[in-house]
Amino acid sequence: MRRRAREPGPTPAERNRAVGERKTRAVEEPLDVRLRTREVYPILEVRNPLHGTAYRVLLPEFPGSGSALCTCTDFARRGLGTCKHIEAGVAWLGEHPDSPPLLPPRRGGVRSAAVWKEVDRRISEGSRAGMPESERVRRAGAVLFERRRGEPDP
């Protein structure tokens, strides 16, 4: 099986410009941010009513965004570690630190070991299937947003 050569990543200047564009779009576009839960970390839903889209944003290091995840294709494809939805979510949480979440606290604790085991399994499975890296990460990261049996509908 022949693999495609990896394209060179963006230069630091290109990366800074691209991240700046996402920050600007997060402010300029009419994004509606809603806090879904704070357990164990903030999960937000960011909607764009003009485009009719909605994405989930996970911010495990809030107020930092170093390991943030978003379900949008820009985040999965560009490799910048951010997107307008993450930037909007970080800004919104900073402005609304005491906002109550839409979902009640989860009963019975968090099953983080099982979740991360499933993330690892999906990444490994995607690697064996020859999936592009962006698709492997997006598919595996989706585990963090999926509803478990018996949990309320997000």
What pLDDT shows up at residue 154? 44
Whole-angstrom Cα Rg for the chain: 17
- For residue 69, the enclosing domain spans 12-104
Residue 94 in domain:
yes
Residue 125 in domain:
yes
Assess whether 60 and 96 both reside in one domain. yes
What pLDDT shows up at residue 65? 78
> Could you tell me how far CA 138 lies from the centroid of its own chain?
9
Assess whether 54 and 87 both reside in one domain. yes
pLDDT in tens, 33-50: 999 888 778 899 999 888
* Tally of structural domains, the chain: 2
Residue 73 in domain:
yes
Residue 154 in domain:
no
Assess whether 100 and 129 both reside in one domain. no
The b-or-e profile of 8-25 (16+ CB within 10 A means b, else e) is: eeeeeeeeeeebeebbeb
Assess whether 50 and 86 both reside in one domain. yes
Assess whether 21 and 71 both reside in one domain. yes
pLDDT of 143 > 80? The answer is no
pLDDT of 153 > 70? The answer is no
Mean pLDDT in the chain? 80
Is the distance from CB of 135 to CB of 79 less than 8 angstroms?
A: no
What pLDDT shows up at residue 60? 87
For the entire predicted model, the pTM comes to 0.64
What pLDDT shows up at residue 37? 85
The rounded distance, in Å, linking the Cα atoms of 18 and 26 is 13
Assess whether 16 and 51 both reside in one domain. yes
Q: What is the mean pLDDT of residues 128-143?
A: 76
Residue 92 in domain:
yes
